[in-house]
Amino acid sequence: MLDRLWNGWRSSYVSSLGTEPHDDHGSPEGSVFTRILQSGLSDLEANIVHRGRHCFVILNAFPYGTGHLLVLPYREVVRLEDLDGPETSELWGTVTDGVRAVTSAYSPDGVNVGVNLGRAAGGSVSDHLHVHVVPRWIGDSNFMTAIANARTLPEPLVDTAAKVRASWPDSSS
């Protein structure tokens, strides 16, 4: 059974946290994703694995596991409801294609798809909406994660990017 400790005094502390700047929120240069897009790096150098009209897909630079993709609109928006119709349609279609690509490239036992909306939800870059696509395998959490609070990744991001690009569904079909 879960124990609960009531700390009413923490309410004012928790409420005040939303007023502080976090990460690059409000940065004049934009989010880390916008800065990558504006950096002049090629898609190969930036590990961008797909570009659409309104959205793109990039490998997570700090992946939970091999094949961890981020699907996001080019336009910086914070909330799902901030997307316009074409962005919404393309975002979810691209998430589906991302699942197809990692499934084809890696044959995982499952795939997590998730969105962390806001800093309190775990969004580390909460000012630029992004959807996580994470292939999962039975037993992919091991002693390194449990004891050392570390993950081991079996291949470099550049190799992962090449595999995902090669497995990306053909948009003409």
pTM of the entire predicted model: 0.80
Q: What are φ and ψ of residue 92, in 5° steps? A: -70, -35
Question: What's the total number of domains in the chain?
Answer: 1
CATH number, residue 130: 3.30.428.10
| Domain presence at residue 7 | no
- Amino acid code (one letter) for 105: A
What local confidence, expressed as pLDDT, does residue 112 receive? Answer: 94
Contact yes or no for 82/123 (Cβ under 8 A):
no
What local confidence, expressed as pLDDT, does residue 65 receive? Answer: 86
Contact yes or no for 119/137 (Cβ under 8 A):
no
More confident position, 103 or 138: 103
Rounded Cα gap, residues 112 and 135, in angstroms: 6
What local confidence, expressed as pLDDT, does residue 26 receive? Answer: 53
pLDDT bucket at 149, cuts 50 / 70 / 90: low
Q: Which of 172, 161, 173 is nearest to 50 (CA)?
A: 161
Q: Residue 112 sits in which domain range?
A: 25-167
What local confidence, expressed as pLDDT, does residue 145 receive? Answer: 52
- DSSP element (H, E) containing 10: helix 10-17
| Domain presence at residue 125 | yes
| Domain presence at residue 6 | no
Please give the average per-residue pLDDT across 80-106, as a whole number.
97
pLDDT at 129 over 90: yes
Most confident of 15-29, 41-55, 61-75, 125-139: 41-55
130 in active site: yes
pLDDT bucket at 122, cuts 50 / 70 / 90: confident
| Domain presence at residue 12 | no
- C-alpha angle 87/92/94, rounded to 5°? 90
- Which of 50, 54, 68, 130 is catalytic? The answer is 130
| Domain presence at residue 2 | no
| Domain presence at residue 17 | no
What local confidence, expressed as pLDDT, does residue 120 receive? Answer: 81
Please give the average per-residue pLDDT across 124-143, as a whole number.
85
Reported as a single tens digit per residue, the pLDDT across 57-77 is 999 988 888 999 999 999 999
| Domain presence at residue 39 | yes
Neighbours of 96 (CB within 10 A): 14
pLDDT bucket at 46, cuts 50 / 70 / 90: very high
Q: What are φ and ψ of residue 43, in 5° steps? A: -60, -35
